[in-house]
Amino acid sequence: MLRYLNQCSRGRGAWLLMAFTALALELVALWFQHVMLLKPCVLCIYERCALFGVMGAGLVGAIAPKTPLRYVALIIWIYSAWRGVQLTWEHTMIQLHPSPFMTCDFMARFPAWLPLDKWLPQVFVASGDCAERQWEFLSLEMPQWLLGIFVAYLVVAVLVLIAQPLKPKRRDLFGR
């Protein structure tokens, strides 16, 4: 399996598939916000940023998958997935154990050099409460679903990283 993951990481298809899944999740989030009129909270916005990081990692990896740029993509992927796990865990705990002492900020804090909320407010401005449960599917809330998704991204990323030193199997006509 690790050799297979190594082989996949050296091709564009797997990287583009990862970018596409993250894009699909972003589009679903925008559907929830603008069509279903659910209000994203600050943690939702940060979770979106982590998804954009996974999507960016997929695009970076697809640029030149057979070069060391693949390792840059892996670092972005692991960092984004790890931050996604942290954020969704915090969000899940706020929803499962609401407390007046454990709340999220009123507005997202982006660095001055990257004011995403000013550049694209339709996507990055928070207007909801982190403790409010707005959506549920199969008895799981949205942050719980995202926690599973980010854990899956992280597990696969770590396995791909572990697989990097392995030599891909050479397949020729005579099986040497």
N residues, the chain: 176
Contact yes or no for 141/95 (Cβ under 8 A):
yes
Residue 62, pLDDT above cutoff 90: no
Instruction: Return the pLDDT at 102.
Output: 67
- Per the model's pLDDT, the better-predicted residue between 22 and 118 turns out to be 22
Average pLDDT over residues 55-69: 86
Average pLDDT over residues 46-75: 88
Residue 173, pLDDT above cutoff 60: no
User: Which residues belong to the active site?
Assistant: 41, 44, 48, 104, 130
Which residue's structure tokens are 């993250």? 22
Contact yes or no for 84/153 (Cβ under 8 A):
yes
Residue 174, pLDDT above cutoff 60: no
Instruction: Return the pLDDT at 160.
Output: 80
Average pLDDT over residues 100-115: 74
Average pLDDT, the chain: 81
Average pLDDT over residues 57-79: 87
pTM tops 0.95, yes or no: no
Residue 99, pLDDT above cutoff 90: no
Rounded to whole angstroms, how far apart are CA atoms 125 and 140? Answer: 24
Look at residues 38, 39, 150, 18 and name the one whose alpha carbon lies nearest to residue 89.
Answer: 150
Residue 108, pLDDT above cutoff 90: no
Instruction: Return the pLDDT at 42.
Output: 83
CA terminus-to-terminus distance, the chain: 20
Look at residues 9, 97, 102, 101 and name the one whose alpha carbon lies nearest to residue 58.
Answer: 9
Instruction: Return the pLDDT at 172.
Output: 54
Rounded to whole angstroms, how far apart are CA atoms 16 and 29? Answer: 20
Average pLDDT over residues 161-166: 75
Share of the chain above pLDDT 70, in %: 83
The pLDDT confidence band at residue 144, using thresholds 50, 70 and 90, is confident
